[in-house]
Amino acid sequence: MKNIERIIGTYDSGNKGALLFITAGIHGNEPSGVYALQRVFEILEAEKPTIQGKVMGVVGNKEALKRQVRFIDEDLNRTWTAENIASAAKDSKEKKEMFEIIDILNEYPKNAFTKRYFLDCHTTSAASEPYISVQNVNDNDTWAHKFPTYIIRGFSDIVEGCIDHYKSRIGMTGFVFEGGQHDSPESIEHHEGIIWLALQHACGLNLDALKNYPEAAVTLENKRKNQKTFEIDYRHEIKKK
């Protein structure tokens, strides 16, 4: 993570289609999505499979990843409010990172693609099964149900300033994927699996056309039989006196 670039990789076959915009490492202590993207782009570049549209992998909090801490000045996954973006203020390291990511996304406007999808890769401090956290806006929920893991509705709606809020506000379709515990090798596998499946659904990648069908995708698909959807109805906030 010492010399990591903002853009992990981009790949296309020159065909019109959707944009799949994948972010990882929004929190600096959650590197597994970055490792998974590196694996996927290595295979894509080596095998050159045909896809429709473009996939892009982008690092979130570069400085925090280098230092192996969650954030430097403030949580990058709380900065994406409409007020912060309208102000254009870059008064923290995280806001500078945020605007760099926005600048990259602006290079790939809506009218250049048939649709724009996003996937934001995260992990949890405690061990957990992989799950999707989705906002019930646009067609996010319908899109999320194409994937085989547990799905939780409503969590993103009670946390202000998340990156998925911003992407949804600008009309993109997608969700947050929690791959498992921060340091678990299984989290990397789960992230790799969800990336392959997202490429299949968003960009028409034929996984059978790869030299080896991705085992990570199989691992995730095997969870489909247990798929359930949960919804957060109420959150009780504990406030300091």
CATH number, domain containing residue 150: 3.40.630.10
Three-state DSSP at 180 gives strand
* Residue 19 forms part of a structural domain: yes
* Residue 238 forms part of a structural domain: no
The predicted-structure confidence for 41-72, as pLDDT tens digits, reads as follows 999 999 999 999 999 999 999 999 999 999 99
* Residue 192 forms part of a structural domain: yes
* Residue 72 forms part of a structural domain: yes
* Residue 13 forms part of a structural domain: yes
* Residue 111 forms part of a structural domain: yes
Comparing CA positions, the residue from 10, 7, 241, 195 lying closest to residue 101 is 7
- Which residue, chain included where needed, has tokens 């949580």? 75
Q: Does 156 have pLDDT greater than 80?
A: no
* Residue 54 forms part of a structural domain: yes
The count of domains in the chain is: 1
Q: Which domain holds residue 39?
A: 7-231
* Mean pLDDT estimate for the chain: 96
CA dihedral (110, 80, 202, 155) positive or negative: negative
* Residue 239 forms part of a structural domain: no
The predicted-structure confidence for 65-98, as pLDDT tens digits, reads as follows 999 999 999 999 999 999 999 999 999 999 999 9
Q: Does 157 have pLDDT greater than 80?
A: no
**What span, in angstroms and rounded, lies between the C-alpha atoms of 189 and 191?**
5
CA distances in angstroms from 217 to 68, 138, 184, 190, 220, listed in the order given: 28, 26, 17, 8, 5
Residue 112 has what pLDDT? 97
**What span, in angstroms and rounded, lies between the C-alpha atoms of 14 and 51?**
8
Q: Does 239 have pLDDT greater than 90?
A: no
Q: Across residues 189-213, what is the average pLDDT?
A: 98
Three-state DSSP at 32 gives helix
Contact 173, 139 (CB under 8 A): yes
Residue 233 has what pLDDT? 86
State the Rg of the chain over Cα.
Answer: 17
Q: Does 155 have pLDDT greater than 90?
A: no
